[in-house]
Amino acid sequence: MPRETTGQARAGRIVEVQDLSVRFVTRDADISVVQDVSFTLDAGEVLCLLGESGSGKSVTMRSLLGLLPPTARVGGRVMVSGHEVTRMTERQLESVRGPVAAMVFQEPMTAFDPVFTIGTQIAETIVSHEGISYRVARARVLELLELVQIPSAARRLDAYPHELSGGLRQRAMIALALSCSPALLLADEPTTALDATVQIQILLLLRQLQRDLGMATIFVTHDIGVACEIADRVAIMYAGRFVETGPIDTLISHPAHPYTIGLLSSTVHESSRGRPLAPIQGGPPDLADLPGGCGFAPRCVARTALCDQVRPTLIPFSTTRAAACHHPALETAPA
């Protein structure tokens, strides 16, 4: 069982990211995939990174744990529970992964080793980080499997990953992430491979665990419906940058950036019944050949000459909201 069991057990700033940039450098290319990203996250908060595939969401999140490939060049400052991740060696990062921050991956079948049982893998993680006996660790694993609502938890301890359904594997992945009581939980589209019924169960479980354990959480998704279910705040990403940030309720009801407006207009919801959807025209830009001005300008209905010439920065327009746009719809975006 995680050592801290209530939201009151933690408090304060958990994540502070300043001017994060990530480039992938190979012999043939130098591609900027994340540019000038800054945000903070307090204990108990859920931040959702929302955007199309290739917008930089997963790269941003993996930067918090130093889980990028050797070709990555990371700039800026990344603080996680007082640890400056960008300055840590691989050996030092191993002490952060698990006890300080942990990740729920998109596909648990590839995250678990197929030749060891679920119970063995989670218990070994606990033993490695906490130095307790395997017997004590195994007892805690049983409590974790019960915490994530796996039926017949005692029997599942000795199950191999392939013997579990997709939903149960994802619950086991969550148990593994919680095994060392992290202050920060990272979830990389953990419900994408699941059917709709199991998806909502996992979302509700993650939200309940996050509240009960007081964890700060970053959730990556391209699904607005998922963001509405789990997020407190949302950061909309496009072409490696934040283009709009704010509380989920006001951002969804009163979007300011044309890209956010386009995402909502092209999403099916109850009020859209009987009306054709209005998809965003065109496709995401090539990160190796970004336009000189606004990255969204070629697809934007509010495009002007200024958009083609000057790249907008993320500017606050209230105490809780910000947008990177020369022509934001501020008349429909209250504080």
Tell me the pLDDT of the chain (335 aa) as tens digits.
455 433 334 579 999 999 999 999 988 889 999 999 999 999 999 999 999 888 999 999 999 999 999 999 999 999 999 999 999 999 999 999 999 999 998 887 888 999 999 999 999 999 999 999 999 999 999 999 999 999 999 999 999 999 999 889 999 999 999 999 999 999 998 887 778 888 888 888 888 899 898 999 999 998 888 888 899 999 999 999 999 999 999 999 999 999 999 998 887 766 666 677 778 888 888 888 888 899 999 999 899 999 999 999 999 999 999 999 999 987 655 55
Is residue 322 within 8 A of residue 309, CB to CB? The reply is no
Beta strands 46-50 and 216-221, pairing class:
parallel
Facing residues of 48 across strands? Answer: 219, 234
Name every residue whose Cβ is closer than 8 Å to that of residue 221 and which is 6 or more positions away in sequence.
48, 49, 50, 57, 189, 227
Q: Angle, nearest 10°, between helix axes 196-213 and 166-178? A: 10
- Provide the token pair at 324: 């990177």
* Proportion of the chain in helix, strand, coil states, percent, rounded to 5: 40, 20, 40
Nearest partner of 263 among 299, 317, 292, 231, judged by Cα: 299
**Model pTM score:** 0.89
Number of residues written out for the chain: 335
Provide the total of helices (H) and of strands (E) in the chain, helices listed first. 12, 12
Q: Which residues have a Cβ under 8 Å from the Cβ of 204 and sit 6 or more positions away?
A: 229
* CA distance linking residue 111 with residue 180, whole number of Å: 17
